[in-house]
Structure 1
Amino acid sequence: MTVALPGPAPRPRPLPADEPLSPEDYRRVVGVVEAVDHAGDLAEFRELLVTALRTWFGYNGVTVLHGDTAVDAVENGCGVLAGYSAEFLETYAAGGWERVDPFRDQGFLRRLAEVGVARLTDIEEGAEGARFRDRFLLPRGIADKAAMLIDAAPAGVLWVGLAVPDGVPKVPDRDLAVLRVLRRHLTPLAVEQLARHRSRQATRADWDLTPREWDVADLAAQGLTNRQIAARLFIGVDTVKKHLTRVLAATSCGSRTQLAVLFTSRDTPV
């Protein structure tokens, strides 16, 4: 039996005045969400999100980090990134540029927590921030960056950074509007993944591992080689070996196979 619903014929919902997005813009949102909504864990979620953002927005450099707070996420660098050369990363670390990076400034991070999405060219970063942009970013083809923060307290936060392609003067206003909409749709997925990740770590509280060691342990348990882990986490192979040695000692495992079995046996269903 077919029932006729009462009421007037529906009309298309108008777009918010501050978000005049096109159908193509919303397709970008859907494309990113569809790419990550089947992720099995936080590690896979981060990697799928990086790939999706590069695919649908065309940004060269994308970083996805997580931590207890925004400061913890950007300072400890626990996550994945893509699109940055080895020279870029080495110069950033060796040159001490992280000390003047406006995106690592606590004042900016507090503001980002309030607005959700922001771009570098909108920040009053002062002399040091201008030097960071003019002497580090611009010579490497980056004129502007955007940042997104998803707060999943008490499970932590997810921080996303995006660098515009060479030749683009700044993150377009339209991209900022799309990223704000995308953030709303990503938030429940990110909250779920961060909570599951926190739950898994809670079941292994006796494993005294750093966030980066957790990442290495998780990937090693999935069967990745040291070189594959290094490529995923953008760290050196020797660094992976050091982390893995520490992981095996902390978990009392004699091999990667034992580590994989231990991870599987102690996973907590959700």
Structure 2
Amino acid sequence: MKRRPTRYTLLLARSGGGSRALSLPGWAVLALSGFLLLWSGVNAYLWYRAREVRALEARIRALSQEARRLSLALEAERTQNGVLSQEAERAKKELEALKKAMDELRRRAGLSPLNALPVRYQEGGQGGGALEGWAEVQATLLDLRNQLSEIAPALERTLEVERSLPLGFPLRAYEGVTSYFGMRENPFGPGVEFHDGLDFSAPYGAPVHATGSGVVVQAGWMGAYGLAVLLDHAEGYETLYGHLSRIAVRPGQRVERGQLLGYVGSTGRSTGPHLHYSVYRHGVAVDPRPYLEARR
């Protein structure tokens, strides 16, 4: 039997009226579908290209505005060249002072001083106008900023050591010394003895503070010192606070300068309420008086 060709029927209906059937062969439907796909693709491409054109136009407008702004700024800079030159010179003088301050920071951090300024910026150099002057200032600022990144860690370590040094008085309101460092008469009998610290006169219960940051090595009964606290600081320093009535810290605790350690008492080998304060360097007792004056 002979196969009949496939046909498709489209039903067209009119609102409020009759309808009409349209019969199309298969190849016509395929052709119409292809045409519709092609038409959609062309429209999508044209829409995409139109969007690109609009974006380019917006970019051109923005660049035109930027060019105009830069042109006006350049013109203003040219008209104010004399003022800018004076400002550049003032900035250079301020940078000289900043360089000196930076050298001092390097010294405190234990670093060797460096020449922070470009060669052409040295005294006697030839200027090249305001723009070149500002270029030199910017180059110097960049160099100083790089130096600061090098100084900061070393300076922080130095400041940490400084915070840990035993400086100042362990009692804030009582600075009267009743017994000094060195040989003294034995307060408990005949003869003389070596006194390895200072005795501060203070009332019972007066607060005792750390003279530097450190770690509590001992906190408790320490023989002749009675209730006492021993702190370990940096650079081989240790401090001892003796004859306390009560202790406010514990062994292994990290304390900061000025932190409460305990309260004045008369425990151990003592004739009355007072604070015994000793400073040790690498295990050897030293006179605490120079360290007291260093914090004034």
Name the TM-score class by shorter chain. under 0.3
Give the greater-gyration-radius structure (CA).
2
Question: Which has the larger share of helix?
Answer: 1
Question: Which has the larger share of strand?
Answer: 2
Bigger RCO of structures 1 and 2 (CA < 8 A, at least 6 apart): 1
What TM-score results when the alignment is normalised by the length of structure 1?
0.20
